[in-house]
Structure 1
Amino acid sequence: MTSAPARPRLSPPASLAPSEELLVALDIDGTIVQIDGYLHPVVAKGITAMRRRGAAVVLATGRGVDGVLPIARQLGMSDGYAVCANGAVVLQFDDSPAGYHLSDVVTFDPASALDQLRERIPSALFLVEDGNGDHYTTGPFPDGELATAPPIVPFERLRHMAATRVTVRAPDVPSAEFAELIADTGLHGVGYYIGWSAWLDIAPQGVSKASALEMLRGRLQIAPHATVAVGDGSNDVEMLAWAHYSVAMGQAPPQVQAQANEVTAPVTEGGLAYVLSAILTR
C-alpha cells in the first residue's frame, strides 16, 4: 500500500495574518496549476479562502494577458491584480465587458535581441506581445503551449513592435543545447529567463515580477513585512527574494529553492495548498 505524501513542515512568521494588510503573490505554472493545466481543487479552495479573508492575492506570471484570464476565471477572481509578462504588464480585474484593464505597461525595442537570436537559432519560433496585450508570432507553437493562436506575421514586423515580452521557442533543439546557445548569444539591455524546455522569455531591462509587485505593494499601502511569494521557476527568483516570506515548490530547481525561506511539496501534490493553509490557520 502506497503511503500518503509527507506534509511539509512550514513555519510562516506569526506576523503574516490573513487580512487586507497582506499581499500574497502566486506564480501560475508549476505553482497554481500543473504542467498539463490541472488546478487541484484544494489549491483553488485555499486561494478563495485567502481572498475571502481580505488578502491581496496577486497572480504573478510569465504568461501574457490572454494566458492569465482563464486562470483568473477558474479562481473566480473578479477584482484584484495580476502581474503578467514577468512584470512588464500589470492588469486590474474590473466589471468592464473585458473583465480587466491594463494599469501599467513597460515596453522595449526588441529588434536587437530578435536579430541576435535568429542568427544564433535560425529554426526558432518568435513571439512578441505588444503593449495592448496582443500577440504575434512567426509560426505556430506546439499544441497546447499558448492559450490562443496568435496571428502569424513576418519576422520583420516583430522587429518594429514595442514589446512587453518576447518569447523564443525552439522545439527541435535539446534544452541543454538551447541554454548554451542563449548564454553564448550575450543578450544585453534586456532581462531574460529560460524555461523548463527550449523556451526563452525576454523582458524589458530592470523589469521583473518583483519590480511590479513592489510597485503594487506601495500602491496598496501594504507593509514590506506583510508580503508572501510562492513560485518554482528561474523567473521567480527575484520575487522570492523580494517577499518577506517566500516558499519554493518542491519540484523547483536547487537554485530557486535556495532563494526561498522554505520549500513545500511539489505542484503535483498540491504544494501551494500547504502554504496557504499554514498562513490561514495561524
Structure 2
Amino acid sequence: MGEDGGVTDPAATFRSHPVPPRPPRLIATDLDGTLLHDDKSVSERTVAALAAAEEAGIDVFFVTGRPARWMDIVADHVHGHGLAICANGAAVVDLHRGGRIVEVRDLAREAAVAVVTALRKVAPGVSFAVERTGGIHYEPAYPPFYDDPGAAIAPVGKLLGEDAEQAGQPVLKLLAHHDELDPDAFLRLARQAAGDFAEFTRSSPTALLEASGRGVSKASTLARCCAERGIAAQEVVAFGDMPNDLEMLTWAGTSYAMANAHPAVRAATSHHTASNNDDGVARVIESLLA
C-alpha cells in the first residue's frame, strides 16, 4: 500500500495504463526508488531491458539526485547508454569516461550563503552540507556520510567561504537537514523563505532538502541534452518516484510514476507502473519493444 493508502496492486495499476503507441527516442529514468531495488541493486531483468532499448535505437539517460561519484551502481551495467544527469541537473556525467563531469550548472556561492541565512531564520536547528564537484563537506550536526572519508567537517560559513580549501570546486547543490520538521512542510517553508536564491526539492523520506542554482532541475538539464540531439519532449518517456522528479515527469511527453512513488508524483504523471522492487521500469520497456 502506498503512503497515502493508495496503490495495493502494482501489476493491476500497470495494466490499467497502456504504453504509448510507438517507441520513444529516449528513456529518462531516475535511480533510487525507480530503477534500483531498495537494496540498491540493478536486476538482471532491468539490465536486459536497458540493453534491448538501446539495441532498438532508443537512448537511455540516467537522471538522478546522486553525485557523479555514486554512479558506480549503474556504470558496470551500461552499454552505449553512458550519459547521466546527476545532482538534480547540476552535472552531466560521462559514465564511459570514469564518471567524468562534462557539464556543470552550479549554485553560486553568494546564493548558497543567502539560502543558509534565510533557512537559519525560519528553521532553527537546520544543518547543512555542501556538495561540490570534488565531494561533499558538512557541518558537525549534519548526519554523517560514512562513505565520504575525505569530507571536510566545519560550519557551513567556513565551507562556503571564499578562502575555503575547496573554493575552486563549483557547488553543485546545498543540502539542508532538519531533525523535527515534516519533509513536505520543510520544502514549502524553504521555497517561501529562500526561493528567490535557489531551486528547492527533495528525494529523501526524511526532512532533507536539496538546493540547486536557479533554473536548474532534472527537467531543464534533460531538455538541454535532448535539444542537442534533436529530440523533442514528446519523444521522451520518463520514470520517477519523488518530488525531485516532478519537473522531469511533467516535461516528458510520457511519464510513469512507480507504484511506490510519492502521492504528488502519482497525481502528476500520465501513467503508472509497478514498484521499483517489481522492476516497473523494465516492464514498461519490454512493452514498448513488444
Interval containing the TM-score (normalised by the shorter chain): 0.7 to 0.9
**Cα distance between partner residues in 1 of 2:45 and 2:84:** 21
Partner of 2:85: 83
Whether 2:21 is the aligned partner of 1:14: answer: yes
Partner of 1:216: 225
Partner of 1:205: 214
Match of 2:68 among 65, 70, 74: 65
SS of the aligned residue for 1:6 comes to helix
SS of the aligned residue for 1:75 comes to coil
Match of 1:182 among 190, 195, 207: 190
Partner of 2:260: 251
Q: 1:110-151: per-residue Cα shift (whole Å, max 9, x none)?
A: 110012223444433311122x342211137547x7753433
Partner of 1:54: 57
Unaligned runs of 5+ in 1: none
Unaligned runs of 5+ in 2: 1-8, 162-166
Report deviation, 1:40.
3.1
Whether 2:104 is the aligned partner of 1:101: answer: no
Is contact 1:78-1:93 (8 Å) kept? no
For structure 1, which segment, 110-119 or 233-242, has the greater mean C-alpha deviation from structure 2 after superposition?
A: 110-119
Is contact 2:131-2:171 (8 Å) kept? yes
**Cα distance between partner residues in 2 of 1:199 and 1:235:** 12
How do residues 111-190 of structure 1 correspond to structure 2 at under 5 angstroms? Answer: 111-130=113-132, 132-139=133-140, 142=143, 148-149=148-149, 150-160=151-161, 161=167, 162-171=170-179, 173-175=181-183, 178-179=186-187, 181-182=189-190, 185-190=193-198
One-letter identity of the residue aligned with 1:166: L
Report deviation, 1:74.
4.0
Report deviation, 1:261.
1.4
Q: Are residues 177 and 242 of structure 1, via their aligned partners in 2, closer, same or farther at CA, if it must alter by over 3 Å?
A: closer
Is contact 2:54-2:81 (8 Å) kept? no
SS of the aligned residue for 1:57 comes to strand
Is contact 1:83-1:213 (8 Å) kept? yes
Percent pairwise identity: 28
RMSD: 2.6
**Cα distance between partner residues in 1 of 2:250 and 2:185:** 28
Partner of 2:32: 29
Q: 1:9-52: per-residue Cα shift (whole Å, max 9, x none)?
A: 242222325xxxx1110001110123442433322332232233
Q: Are residues 268 and 80 of structure 1, via their aligned partners in 2, closer, same or farther at CA, if it must alter by over 3 Å?
A: closer
Is contact 1:32-1:267 (8 Å) kept? yes
Give the structure-2-normalised TM-score: 0.81
Is contact 2:10-2:275 (8 Å) kept? no
Is contact 1:83-1:212 (8 Å) kept? yes
Q: 1:171-213: per-residue Cα shift (whole Å, max 9, x none)?
A: 4555466456535634322110133211100111111111111
